[in-house]
Structure 1
Amino acid sequence: MKTETLKINITQRILNSNDNKILSKIAKLLDEENSVGYDTDGNPIPEKEYIKDIHEALDQLNEGKLETYPSEEVKRKIVG
C-alpha cells in the first residue's frame, strides 16, 4: 500500500472510531515516535528522550558536574 493511501486509510479509521482506549493508544504511540532529530549514528531521537537529556544536563550544570568548554576551545578542537 502506498504511503498516501495508508495515511488516508488510517485517518478515516481514526475519525470513525469512538473507542477512547484505542485513540489513547494511537496518541501514545505517536508521542513516543515523534522524532526531533538524529544522533551521530543516524538513529532518530524521540522528543521525550531529548527533553529528558536536556533536563539531566541542566541538573548536572546546576550541580557543577557538567563538563563544559569555552567556545574558543571548541572552535580550536574542530577547526584545528
Structure 2
Amino acid sequence: ERRFTVRELLLYSSVCGTGLDVVPLPGDAPLDVLAALVGDVAALAVKLHKPLSARLFPIPGKAAGDAVQFANPFLTDSVVMPAE
C-alpha cells in the first residue's frame, strides 16, 4: 500500500523500541545508502539513550514496489520499500 517510507519508519523508532527491523529493500540498494540508514539508526539510539536495531533486508532480484513472499512463518509477505 506504500503508506510509509523507510525514513518514516525511522522516525517512528523515536517513540518505539525496535528501530528498522527486517525492512525489505531492493537487492541492488547501494552500500552507501544502507550504511547511511544504519548510521541514522545508531545516531537516534545514542541521542535517545535506548537500544534500536537495524536489520535491513535486501532482497536479491527485487526492486522497490515488488511484492515479496517468504516461506517462513516468522516473516510477513510484504512489498519492497525504496532505499532512500
Q: Which has the higher helix share?
A: 1
The structure with more radius of gyration = 1
TM-score by length of 1: 0.29
- Higher RCO (C-alpha 8 Å, min separation 6): 2
TM-score by length of 2: 0.28
